[in-house]
């Protein structure tokens, strides 16, 4: 899996602060100044005033995740997605993801993938359109996707997908996206992550009992 932040709003934290300040200012937008952006953004988060966060967007290039993972990713509706097409791009030598839980069965797993690849090739060679031959491809098939989300949507995404109870692959993806965001907008994402990071776990009886704290950065490795 490779995750790269390829584009983002210029000065995302200042943009968010100015958008919020505008709501209470009688000045033209070009004259709005924020003396302490960090303090202002922290106050917005403290008050739960997240609508200004929507003015900061982040675009990620994601390579080498499974279709199973991308299907979970696109459930986050307030985002834009552009994914490699299985209708137009041949999958005759498709890569695939191997979950750690299947390592003990790797021989059978790989044989199945090889059989599927051969059958896919046979279908295409015998006139089956790629858009129909793809029906036999497994959820493990690797894919590439470009995703754009605003900061508010990302906060919700991290809350759900950085949780220990999230499926391992999309949790790994969320962790990587979180790290990328922290490089360019640490103030906006200071309180990002699962609910246990800043308060009480929201999983109820399903809680894992092992809050992540800062282990995303390797500070508290309890996952």
How far is it, in rounded angstroms, from Cα 6 to Cα 1? 15
User: Is there a contact between 209 and 165 (Cβ–Cβ < 8 Å)?
Assistant: no
Secondary element (H or E) of residue 60: strand 57-66
Query: What is the bridge-based pairing of β-strands 142-150 and 79-83?
Result: antiparallel
Name the active-site residue from 67, 134, 161, 171.
161
126 class by beta-carbon count within 10 Å (0-12 exposed, 13-18 middle, 19+ buried)? exposed
Torsional sign, CA 70, 55, 182, 160: negative
* Percent composition of the chain: helix, strand, coil (DSSP 3-state, to 5): 50, 15, 35
Please count the other Cβ atoms lying within 10 Å of the Cβ belonging to residue 192: 25
Angle between helix 12-22 and 37-47 (nearest 10): 60
Three-state secondary-structure class, residue 150: strand
E strand segments, 67-103: 79-83
Task: Reply yes or no on whether 171 is catalytic.
Answer: no
The set of catalytic residues is 161
């Amino acid at each position: 899996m490779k995750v790269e932040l390829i584009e983002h709003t210029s000065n995302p934290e200042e943009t968010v602060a100015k958008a919020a300040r505008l709501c209470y200012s009688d000045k033209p937008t070009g004259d709005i100044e924020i003396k302490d952006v960090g303090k202002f953004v922290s106050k917005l988060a403290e008050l739960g005033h997240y609508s200004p966060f929507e003015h900061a967007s982040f675009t990620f290039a994601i390579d080498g995740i499974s279709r199973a993972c991308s299907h979970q990713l696109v459930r986050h509706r307030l985002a834009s997605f552009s994914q490699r097409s299985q209708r137009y791009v041949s999958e005759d030598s498709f890569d695939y993801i191997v979950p750690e839980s299947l390592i003990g069965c790797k021989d059978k797993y790989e044989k199945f993938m090889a059989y599927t690849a051969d059958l896919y090739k046979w279908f295409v060679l015998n006139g089956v359109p790629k858009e129909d031959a793809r029906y036999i491809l497994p959820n493990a098939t690797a894919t590439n996707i470009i995703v754009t989300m605003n900061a508010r949507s990302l906060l919700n995404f991290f809350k759900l997908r950085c949780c220990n109870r999230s499926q391992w692959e999309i949790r790994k993806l969320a962790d990587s996206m979180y790290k990328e965001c922290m490089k360019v907008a640490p103030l906006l994402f200071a309180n990002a992550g699962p609910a246990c990071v800043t308060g009480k776990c929201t999983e109820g009886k399903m809680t894992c009992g092992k809050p992540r704290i800062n282990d995303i950065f390797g500070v508290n490795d309890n996952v």
